[in-house]
Amino acid sequence: MSGHSKWATTKRKKAKTDVARAKAWNKLIKEISIAAKLGGGNPDSNPRLRAAILKAKSQSLPTKNIESAIAKGTGATSGADVTEPMYEGRGPGGIAILVKCMTDNKVRTVADVRNIFNKNGGSMGEAGSVAWAFSYKGVILLDAEKYSEEQIMDLVLEAGAEDMETEENVHEVSTTAETFDAVTKALEAAGIEMMSAELSYVPNDTVKLESADAKKLLALIDKFEDNDDVQDVYHNAEIDEADME
């Protein structure tokens, strides 16, 4: 789930059950394998694979699983074609939602996505109906208790970052999709450990949700994330920490 507060989102992900974590890991493995299949197994020359590995490490996917996923991807010469459709819609309170999928059967997936929207207080829209409300960017989180603003600011801006904000002892660095790779490499070269790093659809503006709608939205997102074809869910809601927990 990705929305207004990246740090709150990260904390919520860490609090999930082992079963939910296993589902999340399966999605990460799928993304790594596809990235390796399409662009090769070397993350230095395959930015998509590198981004997938960074995201996997931030969610504690074991190194052996990452290596196995790469091997599977680079060795894949046959099998069903996988497509990556993005579906759009509205959730409780009129919130804009993007649902990123990875599937070998679009007929099944679109039916599942529409069904989840309809049964959980949302509605599926046409292509382009809400995508305009998001920008595709890199989002990197760093521990502000471990690294000072002075340590990070000049480094990331020189590498091509757009901005950096600090909140709740966390530095949030934003990049364009094109400069994400350079910024993460600069941080690694400087020995800076990233709490998380991923390419994400970031809302251009957020909408504050009342508690009742916030809880409905979180329930809707959980339904999406339980679906094996859904890779990521993005929204433009601003949710109070109490509702997030």
Show the tokens assigned to 3: 């929305």
- In this structure, are 164 and 178 located in the same domain? yes
Quick one: pLDDT at residue 67? 94
Q: Is the pLDDT of residue 77 over 90?
A: no
- In this structure, are 91 and 103 located in the same domain? yes
Quick one: pLDDT at residue 7? 46
Contact between 140 and 183 (Cβ < 8 Å): yes
Q: Is residue 164 part of a domain?
A: yes
Comparing CA positions, the residue from 12, 34, 50 lying closest to residue 198 is 50
Contact between 35 and 53 (Cβ < 8 Å): no
What is the average pLDDT across 212-222? Answer: 93
- In this structure, are 195 and 209 located in the same domain? no
Here the CATH number for the domain that contains residue 199 is: 3.30.70.980
- In this structure, are 156 and 191 located in the same domain? yes
C-alpha–C-alpha distance, residues 110 and 140, integer Å: 31
- In this structure, are 57 and 159 located in the same domain? no
Q: Is residue 13 part of a domain?
A: yes
- In this structure, are 124 and 228 located in the same domain? yes
Least confident of 18-22, 63-67, 130-134, 220-224: 18-22
C-alpha–C-alpha distance, residues 32 and 49, integer Å: 6
Q: Is residue 1 part of a domain?
A: no
Cβ neighbours for 237, distance < 8 A, ≥ 6 positions apart? 3, 4, 91, 93, 95, 206, 207, 208, 209, 214, 217
Q: Is residue 210 part of a domain?
A: yes
pLDDT tens-digit readout, 30-63: 999 999 998 999 999 999 999 999 999 988 899 9
Q: Where does the pLDDT of residue 245 fall: very low under 50, low under 70, confident under 90, or very high at 90 and above?
A: low
* Of 242 and 233, more confident: 233
Q: Is the pLDDT of residue 241 over 60?
A: yes
- In this structure, are 23 and 58 located in the same domain? yes
Q: Where does the pLDDT of residue 147 fall: very low under 50, low under 70, confident under 90, or very high at 90 and above?
A: very high
Q: Where does the pLDDT of residue 18 fall: very low under 50, low under 70, confident under 90, or very high at 90 and above?
A: low
Q: Is residue 234 part of a domain?
A: yes
pLDDT tens-digit readout, 80-133: 678 999 999 999 999 999 999 999 999 999 999 999 999 999 999 999 999 999
Q: Identify the domain containing residue 163 by its residue range.
A: 134-203
The total number of structural domains in the chain stands at: 3
Cα dist from 241 to 66, 201, 213, whole Å: 32, 21, 14
Q: Is residue 80 part of a domain?
A: no
- In this structure, are 61 and 157 located in the same domain? no
- In this structure, are 145 and 199 located in the same domain? yes
Quick one: pLDDT at residue 12? 52
- In this structure, are 97 and 54 located in the same domain? no
What is the average pLDDT across 68-90? Answer: 85
Here the CATH number for the domain that contains residue 36 is: 1.10.10.200
- In this structure, are 122 and 164 located in the same domain? no
Show the tokens assigned to 22: 């296993």
Quick one: pLDDT at residue 242? 73
Last residue within a domain, chosen from 74, 97, 115: 74
- In this structure, are 192 and 217 located in the same domain? no
